[in-house]
Structure 1
Amino acid sequence: MQKKLFLGYKLRRLREQRVLTQAALAKMLELSPSYLNQIENNQRPLTLPVLLRIATIFEIDLATFVEDEEARLVSDLREALADPLFSGGAIAMSELRNAAAASPELARRSLVLHQAYQKLQERVQSLAETLSSHERGQALAGPQFPYEEVRDYFHYSNNYVGPLDEAAERLSEQEGFRAADMQTDLMAHLKARHDVRVRIVADHDGETAMRRYDAASGTLYLSALLSGPSRAFHLANQIALLGQNETIEQLIGQANFTTDDARSICRVGLANYFAGALVMPYRAFAAQARAVRHDIEQLQSRFGVSFEQVCHRLSTLQRPGARGVPFYFVRVDMAGNITKRHSATRFHFARFGGACPLWNVHEAFAQPGKILVQLARMPDNVAYICVARSVTKRAGAYLKPSRQFAIGLGCEAAYASEVVYSAGLDISNADAAVPIGVSCRICEREDCQQRAFPPIGSHLTVDEHHRSFVPYLFTQPGEDGKRLAPGPQAEGVGG
């Protein structure tokens, strides 16, 4: 049985954007005004014939219109509302869905407000731990959540930036860039098109940056410590800043960022996006990815790029009309901080606090360089094929610490036949999947032995005479009865 599509709020926004009256659109769709009114108020679902007419009239990609983008917003709202700040009881999922569908922009601005509150809380904590008045002043003067704002920009863009992706592909085809000689081709392009010469400099020459562009002399300095893939990426990044500046500035202007810092960070992010799309052109990369069933190491070899670059690029293959397998991409440091995150799937990341400890991305640090594969299931019962591997970014000297990260890439198990990493996984067996969640504070799993703390909004039961392997006993609001399990004294208190 197919799911009924209630997309009335989305259709109404589309109509209002095109400055059409309800009566005018009803005539174009060959519907009565009253019937269209019922659709726009989600009292009737959209039928396939009406959907096809909408796609034709508005010249939109049907898959993009139907896609449940509101699920991401609902997930973010749910996590924000799990904050102790909102302790007045749980809000029903139906209310969250209605808010995301009817007033998505208001919902997003509410999230921005909550992020500001979170940032303020962090600063208060930082001030409490600071000793000097000078440092207090610096903490107070610090920028407000620019990275979170930029991450949300890419998150809600489905991690696909059409104008830059298409421009990168056109440039690659026009110039005939070759994967085997990418560095040489990019350096030649910089010289011919932008009159920029490239110098590779060693650390002992006094150059400490990975990349530095001197506009006055038209020289791009690259560190000799950079690997081949990283060097090509930085060359492509400079091409973006010089050749795509107008497009980048237009995209930044449309994003309505609240701070200059966010605009600057997004400028870097968009240049990085173009760079990835230039060394891995969309159609060529997507075709190769399908041919090797998304084997990351084979794609590394064919395009001369790094493991992380391949994973990130796979997460961007969401061009309307030519979509690839929807992947999530994440980069985590050894402390569990998520430093990069993008998802074209229903998989949601924790915005605040740590991610689920049962997720294999954390295990990657214990087995350096080895590709780990996990079949995991989220609380919404969607199973994912999760791939993880650690990467080390060396500093080039014994006394300079290397940077270590774990890279995670995954897709829904429904795409198993298209992904080589499904080999050996018992996809059809529900019990074979590891039960994971977004983060402990919003995860409702009652039998998780790895839980760090109970979910926000739950009711704890403490029994000093009983202790089991599950760290916390809790009941959700509205549940009757209480199950025996340990209270919070079992974990972190008295051994």
Structure 2
Amino acid sequence: MSAGTDHKLFLGARLKRMRRDRGLTQTAMAADLGVSPSYLNHIERNQRPVSAQLLLRLAATYDVDLRRLGQEGPTGEAALSEVFADPLFQGLAVPRHELLHLVDEAPGAAEALLRLYSAFADQRDRARAAVIEGEPSAGGPSPADWVRDHIQSRANHFPALDALGEAVHASLDPTVTGDGFAVLARNRLATRHNLAVRVMPAEVMVEWTRRFDPHRRRLLLSETLSHASRAFAIAYQLALAEHDGELNALAEAARPPDDTSRALLKVSLTNTLAAAILMPYAPFQRMAEATGYDIARLERRFAVSFEQVAHRLTTLSRPTARGVPFFLIRIDQAGNVSKRYASGAFPFARFGGGCPRWRLHDAFATPGRIVTQIIETPDGGRWFTLARTVERQGYDGAGEHHGLAIGLGCELRDAHRLACARGLDLTSPEVTLIGPACRLCHRHPCAERAAPPVDRALTVDDWSKSVSPWPFASA
């Protein structure tokens, strides 16, 4: 097979889905792209590859990010492999080529299957918890999972909120950033909305870090919040005060399945708008590019925290000013995932935990320091990652402290744009091979393995001992 053949792109299913999402017929799209309807029909049926010229026309006509067009969406092979690794499907042994066919030829059906499994897994977990608590189980999808999936379906990018954030920032004073900007926002709440901000003792706030009293028109903030967290809380309240209608409309347009999901989505959208007010898109993206995505400098310029900068970096998908497509994951010391966002591909398991070979977990041993690593996932993808611990919001310094770790990463091909990667050999063959959760991972041998893969037979004998506690057959 020639090199040219190796690089042919067959994107029929993705092109068809993109056309249908825009409500276009094949004839209409063919006219937009300057090709014949029959040629477009051949492409959608994967009988013809997508040419470079057609890709450029797609980008120009429909504002398509070519970096994402060829990537798996939220329903990729890895996600479906994880679903079929559940013991529920033991004995089916669905081969990889069938999963790829489902993803490429029937992405809607694949997404439906993933949603159904997500609802099932959530209900199963609720039932197990109910048994432990001695209570009847409650069905229904998880609002947290629904909101997470909705945000990821938008690649964590909400252009309308970025535009509103820039407008609010400019109306205050576009020349002011940092702590001075938080003062301006606080004054805006007082003068325009008759709303006072008060910092209260921790013993008064009890478990609350932020609370709005609508009767006395007061925003109460816990003294345990850092300056960056206080500024974010003020920006959050300003977002609600000035754009509550737009936030409600965006939440309703997503058609959430229940009131809890709608409320949780509105909170997430308000957080996004607050970040856009504190870190307006254009100046934030320009400085990120100019400094090589130097998180420390971005923290100082906009008077925000490491986590706030890292989260904002996953939202830079404006077509005219794109940033590096980052993914972000936040875990506690037990490995529980509490945040998972990506502006591009996301290389890790959706339902399982992480891999102990990834240095995200090592960050807890060096609090406050950034650790970097080049990793390779089972599909051969290579990623540059950095990790650092952060304080939990509202930690008052008393008692036992259990912090969190933030993992931020991008595809290795983009790592040369990052200041923290300068001086590293990004072409070195020495990378850390990682996998998804152990029950899904086929890497062998692995001394860190905690459980055998569910779809492999164990190879146990009393004549030898592997470095892995769970040796298994290769297929």
Match of residue 296 from structure 2: 297
Per-residue CA deviations over 1:260-283 (Å, capped at 9, x if unaligned) read 222211111111111112111111
2:380 is the counterpart of 1:381: yes
Give the superposition deviation at 1:346.
3.1
Alignment partners' CA distance in 2, 1:64 and 1:313 = 19
Aligned counterpart for 2:38 among listed residues 21, 34, 41: 34
For the 8 Å contact 1:199–1:220, the answer to whether it is kept is: yes
Aligned counterpart for 1:169 among listed residues 166, 170, 173: 166
Match of residue 244 from structure 2: 245
Match of residue 447 from structure 2: 449
Match of residue 286 from structure 2: 287
Per-residue CA deviations over 1:263-313 (Å, capped at 9, x if unaligned) read 211111111111112111111111111222112112111211111111111
Note the 1:329-344 alignment, pairs <5 A.
Answer: 329-344=328-343
For the 8 Å contact 1:89–1:457, the answer to whether it is kept is: no
Q: Secondary structure at the match of 1:298?
A: helix
Taking a change above 3 Å as real, the CA distance of residues 228 and 89 of structure 1, as seen in their structure-2 partners, is same
Aligned amino acid, residue 163 of structure 1: A
Please give the TM-score of this superposition, normalised by the length of structure 2: 0.91
Give the superposition deviation at 1:332.
0.4
Aligned amino acid, residue 285 of structure 1: F
Q: Secondary structure at the match of 1:409?
A: strand
Count of residues in correspondence between the two structures: 468
Alignment partners' CA distance in 2, 1:95 and 1:16 = 24
Aligned amino acid, residue 448 of structure 1: C
Match of residue 182 from structure 1: 181
Aligned amino acid, residue 451 of structure 2: F
Aligned amino acid, residue 442 of structure 1: L
5+ residue gaps, structure 1, are 478-495
Aligned amino acid, residue 128 of structure 1: V
Match of residue 236 from structure 1: 235
Q: Secondary structure at the match of 1:406?
A: strand
Taking a change above 3 Å as real, the CA distance of residues 185 and 120 of structure 1, as seen in their structure-2 partners, is same
Alignment partners' CA distance in 1, 2:456 and 2:149 = 28
Per-residue CA deviations over 1:116-158 (Å, capped at 9, x if unaligned) read 221222233223333xx4xx14xx2477411111111122211
For the 8 Å contact 1:187–1:235, the answer to whether it is kept is: yes
- Name which of structure 1's ranges 449-458 and 95-104 shifts more when overlaid on structure 2: 95-104
| Amino-acid identity (%) | 38
Taking a change above 3 Å as real, the CA distance of residues 258 and 110 of structure 1, as seen in their structure-2 partners, is farther
Aligned amino acid, residue 127 of structure 1: A
For the 8 Å contact 2:182–2:231, the answer to whether it is kept is: yes
2:444 is the counterpart of 1:434: no
Match of residue 71 from structure 2: 68
Taking a change above 3 Å as real, the CA distance of residues 332 and 8 of structure 1, as seen in their structure-2 partners, is same
Give the superposition deviation at 1:17.
4.4
Alignment partners' CA distance in 2, 1:173 and 1:428 = 43
Give the superposition deviation at 1:254.
2.8
Give the superposition deviation at 1:19.
4.5
Aligned amino acid, residue 90 of structure 2: S
Aligned amino acid, residue 129 of structure 2: S
2:16 is the counterpart of 1:12: yes
Alignment partners' CA distance in 2, 1:62 and 1:362 = 32
5+ residue gaps, structure 2, are none
For the 8 Å contact 2:74–2:153, the answer to whether it is kept is: no
Taking a change above 3 Å as real, the CA distance of residues 183 and 65 of structure 1, as seen in their structure-2 partners, is closer
Match of residue 93 from structure 1: 96
Aligned counterpart for 1:50 among listed residues 54, 59, 63: 54
For the 8 Å contact 2:75–2:107, the answer to whether it is kept is: no
Aligned counterpart for 2:153 among listed residues 141, 146, 156: 156
Alignment partners' CA distance in 2, 1:55 and 1:294 = 26
- RMSD over aligned CA atoms reads 2.4
